[in-house]
Amino acid sequence: MLRRKMLEFLRTWRVSHQKECLLINGARQVGKSYIVERFGEEYESFVKLDFIEHPEYCGIFAGALSAEAIATARLSSSPKETGP
């Protein structure tokens, strides 16, 4: 039930915030990663940046914050890309 509500919330967010990124934070072991991964399955591909597992990803947001700079930094850090 809660899983379905969270997925519905994320689907609603996707429609109303098309050009914004989403930050999910909260207590440990409550299903944040799980629900994001399930939501990501609805896309052709998605990128998950887990700053706890991979603190080196924090460097992606150091310096310039233009879309081009972030994309270049993301590619050089090679975070896990999930998709077909």
Unique residue bearing structure tokens 């310096």: 63
Hey, what are 15's tokens? 């429609």
Report how far residue 38's alpha carbon sits from residue 35's, in angstroms, rounded to the nearest whole number.
5
9, pLDDT greater than 60: yes
pLDDT for residue 84: 46
All residues at 6 or more sequence positions from 33 whose CB lies less than 8 Å from its CB, including other chains: 48, 50
Which is more confidently placed, 73 or 40? 40
pLDDT of residue 11: 92
Q: Please tell me the predicted confidence (pLDDT) of residue 12.
A: 92
DSSP at 41: T
pLDDT at 20: 78
pLDDT at 81 > cutoff 70: no
Residue boundaries of the structural domains of the chain: 1-42, 46-84
pLDDT at 8 over 90: yes
Helix (H, G, I), strand (E, B) or coil at 71: helix
